[in-house]
Amino acid sequence: MPSGGFDIEAMAIQEHGSNFKALHKDMDNAYSWKVELKNGAMVGIDFAAWAKKEHGPNAKVTCVKDKAMSWNWIVSDITVGNVRIDLVPLIEIHGGGEGSITKKLKWKSGYSTQVGLDVDVHAKVTSEASADLKAVTSKASAEYGVAVHAHTSFNFESEQVMEDEITVSMAKPNYIYVVNVSFTANGNDYQIGGRSYIQSPVPLDT
């Protein structure tokens, strides 16, 4: 991935021109940078904006909070494709029965591996997955004439086993799924599981 440091004085001069006077910082605080202008104003520095302006919209910044000189930029060059959601059924109740049942649910959340990934890739993948899930529920709402809403969160973390216990009525339809997302990044296959299950009064089909 392309990366590098900042020439902070050169960038401040580029931004403020002849009004630039000096830079100020606390060496033990990365967020203390200020630009002093000749008109007497003191303005902060937006390192993230600088990075995107110079290196494109995929640029991000990093720093060590107690080291003023630690600011760096990095551009993710990971290519993401084939994003797909899979709804794995945990409970399928068609309704018309009596009483209720209590079931223990168990599923996997997080990434099977995070090697070669970063938070920007995670954000792109999960945003696309959430849009696909919304499309699935909208289709079901139109097909069955009922309002279907479903949402799950995805954390950038290693895989872990999630467990819950739920009591559901046998009288009404109730379909419970977990959401798994598969995708490719730079030619490698990845999978991430949602942190929570989703419930629907009608079956969902991807």
Q: Are residues 55 and 97 in the same domain?
A: no
Most distant CA pair in the chain, distance: 80
Tell me which of 75, 90, 121 is where a domain ends. Answer: 75
Q: Where are the beta strands (DSSP E) in the chain?
A: 3-5, 20-26, 29-37, 42-44, 59-62, 72-75, 80-93, 100-111, 160-169, 174-185, 188-200
Q: What pLDDT shows up at residue 3?
A: 82
Q: Is residue 45 a part of any domain in this protein?
A: yes
Q: Is residue 180 a part of any domain in this protein?
A: yes
Q: Is residue 206 a part of any domain in this protein?
A: no
Q: Are residues 13 and 62 in the same domain?
A: yes
Instruction: Please state the length of the chain.
Output: 206
Cα 164 to Cα 168: distance, rounded to the nearest angstrom: 13
Q: Are residues 142 and 91 in the same domain?
A: yes
Q: Are residues 46 and 148 in the same domain?
A: no
Q: Which two tokens stand for residue 41?
A: 């104003």
Q: Are residues 54 and 122 in the same domain?
A: no
Q: Is residue 205 a part of any domain in this protein?
A: no
Tell me which of 59, 75, 91 is where a domain ends. Answer: 75
How far, in Å, are 17, 106, 163, 174 from residue 166 at the CA level? 64, 11, 10, 12
Q: What pLDDT shows up at residue 109?
A: 94
Per the CB < 8 A criterion, the answer to whether 94 and 78 are in contact is no
Cβ-Cβ contacts under 8 Å for 155 (sequence gap 6 or more) = 109, 110, 195
Backbone angles phi, psi at 134, to 5 degrees: -60, -40
Q: Are residues 186 and 84 in the same domain?
A: yes
Burial class of 175 by CB neighbour count within 10 A (0 to 12, 13 to 18, 19+)? buried
3-class state of residue 14 by DSSP: helix
Q: Which two tokens stand for residue 141?
A: 């709402």
- Half-sphere CA count of 52, side-chain side, radius 13 A: 6
Q: Is residue 25 a part of any domain in this protein?
A: yes
Q: Which two tokens stand for residue 35?
A: 């630009």
Host domain of residue 13: 3-75
Q: Are residues 138 and 110 in the same domain?
A: yes
Q: What pLDDT shows up at residue 1?
A: 65
Tell me which of 75, 107, 122 is where a domain ends. Answer: 75
Ordered mean pLDDT values, 10 residues apiece, the chain (206 residues): 88 95 96 96 94 84 92 82 93 93 94 83 90 91 83 89 94 93 90 91 86
Cβ-Cβ contacts under 8 Å for 78 (sequence gap 6 or more) = 1, 116, 117, 118, 120, 121, 185, 186
Q: What pLDDT shows up at residue 75?
A: 80
Q: Are residues 88 and 177 in the same domain?
A: yes
Cβ-Cβ contacts under 8 Å for 98 (sequence gap 6 or more) = 170, 171
Q: Are residues 65 and 43 in the same domain?
A: yes
Q: Are residues 151 and 137 in the same domain?
A: yes
3-class state of residue 120 by DSSP: helix
Q: Are residues 18 and 109 in the same domain?
A: no
Number of domains in the chain: 2
